[in-house]
Structure 1
Amino acid sequence: MDKIFILLVLSLSTCASNGYSLKLFSAYIPGEKQFPEFSIVTVLDDIIVGYYNSIVYIPRGNTTNEDDVIESVYINDIIDYMHYSFKRRSYLLTQNNSYEVYQTLVQCELLNTQPGKMIIKDAAGGFTTDELTYINNNFTYFVNASYSQVLLKPHLEEFKENLKKIFYPTCKRTLENYLKTRADQIRSLKKPNVKFVRKANTASGSFQAICLATGFYPRHINLTLFRDGQPVSDHKITGGDLLPNDDGTYQMKKILKISEEEKKENRKYTCTATHLSLDNKLDVKLTDNLDNDHYLFYIIGAVCVVMLLTFAIILGIWRKWRQGGEYDLAEAEEYSSEDEEL
């Protein structure tokens, strides 16, 4: 059930920019279904650490009950509040539409041991309905659903107070506790290997500036492309998806297309990476030397030269060997004729 649920909410997932995160993926499926009506999956970074099946909370990947990690005083109240919230949202949204699944993502972060932001996203039918962000005692909220403002405002203000006084401190403490008890399951920090290369398009004269960061852990990373020291607008950049590697680390690639006209301007491009494993940001410059196609040309040329030299050396050795062999044979025949005369 927890694996199926993770697939359902992947589109809601967000990441801390630099640090560790604790996420609660919850779902409400009204009616008679093969799944529990209300369920929660708890994820520490990339590790599923717990599952609630509408009846009991079950730790995952650990032999202990982890009573010292999850504060039982608050967990039942939080679960009841989330369940009630789902039912209320279901009632409000079904005034205009009927949805099969309602989902919520709750995420809190620790950035270099300092508390980070808390994010709460709600979705219905696979689409985000509203999102609330809390950081440094400030709230940011947007709604993308046909909620009545008269009904929404009292509940929103109440929720803000609960988040500030209960949800946020509880999530932060739980994350800190998990980082202690699950330390052996969390991978050690891995620094990103960052390359900033260009790929030419000979037909149009343009090229792509490709920034690839790979081999890093944890998965939270920021890649920023700069032109002459100024950040490039996001709408001009493609890529940015986080992908897993076979060894448990991650990779991310961002691409900027540079036209033939921009290419002539000789601007300076830089890819900057920030990651928990790095003491300082990592700046990688786009080389102003030859494009990949030219590199390939010279590599092929060098290989051909080496092959020709190798062939010449082998041919020279063979000729010397053959000449030496013919000389020895003639000399042997001469000695043989002299013996016969004797």
Structure 2
Amino acid sequence: MLRCVVLGLLCGLRGYCAATHSLRYFYTGSSGMTEFPEFVTVGMVDNEPFTYYDSNICRETPRQDWIAKSVGADYWERNTQISIGDEQTFKVDLVNLPQRFNQTGGVHTSMTMYGCDWDDEDGTTSGFRLEGYDGEDYLAFDLNTLTWVAPVQRALITKHKWDADRGLNENRKNYLTQTCIEWLKKYIDYGRSTLMRRVAPQVSLLQRDPGSPVSCLATGFFPRDIVLSWQRDGQELHEGVESGGVLLPNGDGTYQVRKSLRVSPEDLEGHTYSCLELQEYSSTDCVCVSVPDPVRPSSNLAVIVRLIIAAVLVLIAATVGVVIWKKRSASKNYDAAQTSDSRADGSSDNGAAKA
């Protein structure tokens, strides 16, 4: 028999949790993907999207109420112009890079991801910038040496040209270690009531019949950093656990995730099985949901509806994930002379970065 779901929490529901905060920008240029915009940028604070631009709308837009209320029109205009310049750069990349890789036709992506982290407890910071092409690493910036690391031979031409521009690399380091951190702290302050909120999950079990897997569903939680773990008699289980734990957004800004366990009715009778959930915050109490019998679908309509919605969202998340995963694109530029000197022939990056 499945005895209970144990809800374990790690850090104080009513209190503030010290944490490492992050600011990330993802850029993706694509060709041959008519169902997606040719260029997309997404800004994220603590893994929450807060700004967005694509080549269809041609405008930087807010994705959180707190940023829309906290900055003025000049902020959106400045970042719009940066994205428009980057869009032109990426178009050039997606002409030149396939030629360098001896590719003709097909779907191609040019990607950039950059940002910084700040630990609000001990004050430590870090920054990074990565370039990619077709989902693979292309170049990585080394903050210590102010040079670029090229994991593929075809990136060496770009590496040597970018390495030679010491002043630009100094500016890039200054952005990643100072400017980025300053803006990250501002964003955390602007969005404190949203980003720092702590919402415990609702946990449910669903088993269609005695021979089907038992699904453990945690929903309505924030922040997104949780781990679901199945245990038998207090020991973590790996055998029979189905790795369907795709994190999905709910419409209210919270998240949901589930993980299933395939176990025979005979084993259920002889052992105590628990679904253990761990999160960034904690409570001294455990929440146990007794399940004396296999859950009947008719008595768990809400859970079934959530699971159906989750299945649909998986498809959406997978599609969007293609874009966001490939957001490692080329660098930033403004005028036509700069963007024509693209990453494919040695340099398309003037170091411009969003606030």
TM-score of the superposition, structure 1-length normalised?
Answer: 0.51
Amino acid at match of 1:180: D
- Over 3 Å counting, the alpha-carbon distance change for 1:79 and 1:166 in structure 2 is farther
Q: Equivalents in 1 of 2:258, 2:238: separation in Å? A: 16
Long gaps (5+) in structure 2: 1-18, 63-67, 300-355
Name the SS for the 1:292 alignment partner.
coil
Tell me the equivalent position of 1:12.
none
- Structure with a larger share of its residues in strand: 1
Equivalents in 2 of 1:246, 1:287: separation in Å?
A: 28
Is this contact kept in 2: 1:108–1:119, CA < 8 A?
yes
Q: Which of the residues 242, 249, 264 maps onto 1:244?
A: 249
Q: How far is 1:239 from its partner?
A: 2.6
The count of residues paired between Structure 1 and Structure 2 equals 257
Separation in structure 2 between the aligned mates of residue 164 and residue 231 of structure 1, nearest angstrom: 43
Correspondence for 1:256 = 261
Structure 1 unmatched runs, 5+: 1-17, 297-342
Equivalent position to 2:185, from 176, 181, 185: 176
Distance 2:139 2:284 in 1: 29
Q: What amino acid is the match of 1:290? A: D
Structure 2 CA distance for aligned equivalents of residues 27 and 180 of structure 1: 28
Structure 1 residues 254 and 111: CA distance shift in structure 2, 3 A: farther
User: 2:137 corresponds to which residue?
Assistant: 130
Is 1:28–2:29 an aligned residue pair?
Answer: yes
- Superposed, 1:201-280 pairs within 5 Å as 201-202=209-210, 204=211, 207-208=213-214, 210-218=215-223, 220-228=224-232, 229-233=234-238, 236-260=241-265, 262-275=267-280, 278-279=281-282
Aligned to 2:111: 103
1: distance between equivalents of 2:226 and 2:163?
33
Change (3 A) 1:19 1:232: farther
Aligned to 1:192: 200
Alignment deviations for residues 86-116 of structure 1 (CA, whole Å, 9 cap, x no partner) = 9668644532325454233435455666668
Give 3-state SS (helix, strand or coil) of 1:180's partner.
Answer: helix
Instruction: Name the SS of the counterpart of 2:226 in structure 1.
Output: strand
Do the aligned partners of 1:21 and 1:110 also contact (CA within 8 Å) in 2?
Answer: yes
CA–CA separation in structure 1 for the residues paired with 2:284 and 2:110: 39
**Alpha-carbon distance in structure 2 between the residues aligned to 1:194 and 1:133:** 41
- Alpha-carbon distance between aligned partners in 1 of 2:239 and 2:159, rounded to the nearest angstrom: 33
In 2, Cα distance between the equivalents of 1:222 and 1:286? Answer: 19
Query: Based on CA coordinates, which of the two structures has the bigger radius of gyration?
Result: 1
Aligned to 1:172, the other structure's residue is in SS state helix
Query: How large is the RMSD of aligned CA atoms in angstroms?
Result: 5.6
Q: Give, in whole Å, the separation in 1 of the partners of 2:253 and 2:87.
A: 32
Query: Relative contact order (C-alpha < 8 Å, sep 6+): which is higher?
Result: 2
Q: Distance in 1 between matches of 2:249 and 2:186?
A: 26
1:52 deviates by 8.9
Give the drift of 1:273.
2.3
How far off is 1:266 after superposition?
0.9
CA offset at residue 216 of structure 1?
2.3
The one-letter amino acid paired with 1:171 is C
The one-character-per-residue Cα deviations of 1:18-75 (angstroms, maximum 9, x if unpaired) are 76543312233589x9x9986644344545346598xx995742552576x9x99xx9
| Secondary structure of the structure 2 residue equivalent to 1:221 | coil
Kept in 2, the 8 Å contact 1:42–1:51? The answer is no
**Partners of 1:272 and 1:281 within 8 A in 2:** no
Cα distance, 1:223 vs structure 2: 1.8
Residues 261/146 of structure 1: CA separation in 2 closer, same or farther (3 Å cut): farther
2:323 corresponds to: none
What is the distance in 2 between the residues matched to 1:175 and 1:66?
A: 18
CA contact (8 A) 1:216 1:251 kept: yes
Q: State percent identity of aligned pairs.
A: 20
Residue in 2 aligned with 1:315? Answer: none
Deviation of 1:171 (Å): 2.8
**Which whole-Å CA distance do the structure 2 matches of 1:295 and 1:43 have between them?**
40
With over 3 angstroms needed to count, the CA separation of the structure-2 counterparts of 1:39 and 1:254, relative to structure 1, is: closer
Q: How does 1:31-180 map to 2 (within 5 A)?
A: 40-44=41-45, 45-49=47-51, 51=53, 60=62, 61-62=68-69, 64-65=72-73, 91-94=96-99, 95-97=101-103, 98=105, 99-110=107-118, 124=133, 128-130=135-137, 147-148=153-154, 166-180=175-189
Partner Cα distance (1:47, 1:260) in 2:
43
